[in-house]
Amino acid sequence: MDISIVVPLFNEDESLPHLAEWIDRVMTEHHFDYEVIMVDDGSKDKSWQVIEQLHANNPRYKGVKFRRNYGKSAALNVGFGQAQGDVVITMDADLQDSPDEVPELYRMIKEDGYDLVSGWKKKRYDSKLAKNIPSKFFNWTTRKMSGIKLHDFNCGLKAYRHDVVKSIEVYGEMHRYIPVIAKWAGFNKIGEKVVQHRKREFGVTKFGLNRFVNGYLDLMSIMFMSKFGKQPMHFFGLVGSVSFLLGFIAFIVVCVMRICGHISLTNSVWFYVSMLFILMGTMLFLSGFLGELICRNSTTRNQYLIEKVIEK
Ligand code: UDP
Ligand code: MG
């Protein structure tokens, strides 16, 4: 199969028939063998009935229905698990992403050899204050921290080589960082394509401003996990040792000053500062040690993504 289109959706019943019609038109025009996996993320409207209807009319349409709303990342993760196509394309359900982009995205994966191609909504049709400006800042920080040169990390329209979606796991709110997760998994050829963006015609946006706070916390945990996830001691041990050492040196200095009669130990603020550093250092060091013990017992401690093997 050439293409799997994965569509996460939450209360989008009005858009779905239009989206399906559009996808079918583009796919048949280009003679693709395809499937569309619609993941209903706990919709309360008629989205699921629409999906059942689409499947009845055309078995290329497949559906998964969550019992409740788990979030876009969960929906994508389940869609990735089911996808069979050589190229997997994700697309929002609200008609803001255009299926006309699919053939070129497919070509970039197949012919140009990209592992992942992310859409770039260069001209964006969303509210300026709530989306466009904050997301410029968000993209800038993510670019700096991850070293991936993308303009629009959070674009719903993306294309992946089959292996990529089978090797990564998206959870929580991590859908914003799929390129970062993919890079961490060893898929380095990440490209970008300017894509058409459209105004939302039906329904309302599902993401408010709190996504920025959560977004940054997620970015920090991804960066931390990728650097120290398997070696917590390298972080906690180092910071802890430095803190302990500083505290210890300060303590010696304070003691020497006491012996020379300059100060009284408990009246000196430096005495307490040195104690604080020694304590903090010990705590951090212990955290690192506990982290290592947890890693050692984790079932994923020896799970690696293997690309190729030569045997015999
Ligand atoms: N979505 C989802 N689960 C959620 C929130 C959103 O599956 O909990 C879907 C939503 O139906 C849409 C896509 O994710 O297909 C993008 O959401 P939205 O259009 O609200 O985001 P925006 O374009 O405003 O950033
Ligand atoms: Mg949208």
> At residue 117, what are phi and psi to the nearest 5 degrees?
-125, 125
Tell me the C-alpha distance between 139 and 192, whole Å. Answer: 14
Same domain as 60, residue 115: yes
Average the pLDDT over 76-95 and give the result.
97
Q: Is the dihedral of CA 168, 169, 175, 180 positive or negative?
A: negative
State the CB neighbour count (10 A cutoff) for residue 28: 10
Mean pLDDT over the full length of the chain: 93
The whole-number pLDDT of residue 193 equals 97
The whole-number pLDDT of residue 132 equals 79
The whole-number pLDDT of residue 57 equals 97
pLDDT digits (tens, 9 = 90+) for 198-231: 999 999 998 877 777 888 888 888 889 888 988 9
pTM of the complete model: 0.87
Tell me the C-alpha distance between 75 and 50, whole Å. Answer: 17
Lowest mean pLDDT among 64-78, 238-252, 292-306: 292-306
Q: Report the percent of the chain where pLDDT is more than 70.
A: 100
pLDDT bracket for residue 96 (50, 70, 90): very high
pLDDT digits (tens, 9 = 90+) for 256-276: 999 998 788 888 888 999 999
pLDDT bracket for residue 144 (50, 70, 90): very high
Atom number of ligand 1 nearest to Cα 126: 24
Residue to mutate, 78, 206, 207, ligand 1, most ligand atoms under 8 Å from C-beta: 206
The alpha carbon of 61 and the centre of ligand 2 are apart by a number of angstroms equal to: 21
Same domain as 263, residue 123: no
- The count of structural domains within the chain is 2
**Residue 303 forms part of a structural domain:** no
Domain residue limits at 243 = 233-296
**Residue 128 forms part of a structural domain:** yes
The whole-number pLDDT of residue 306 equals 86
Last residue of a domain, one of 210, 227, 244: 227
Last residue of a domain, one of 181, 211, 227: 227
**Residue 306 forms part of a structural domain:** no
Tell me the C-alpha distance between 222 and 228, whole Å. Answer: 10
State the CB neighbour count (10 A cutoff) for residue 70: 18
State the CB neighbour count (10 A cutoff) for residue 111: 8
The alpha carbon of 1 and the centre of ligand 2 are apart by a number of angstroms equal to: 28
> At residue 7, what are phi and psi to the nearest 5 degrees?
-120, 105
Atom 17 (ligand 1): residue with closest C-alpha? 206
**Residue 305 forms part of a structural domain:** no
Residues whose beta carbon lies within 6 Å of some atom of ligand 1: 8-10, 12, 41, 69, 71-72, 75, 92-94, 96, 156, 205-207
The whole-number pLDDT of residue 233 equals 95
Which residue reads 């395809």 in tokens? Answer: 34
Average the pLDDT over 65-87 and give the result.
96
Lowest mean pLDDT among 123-137, 172-186, 291-305: 123-137
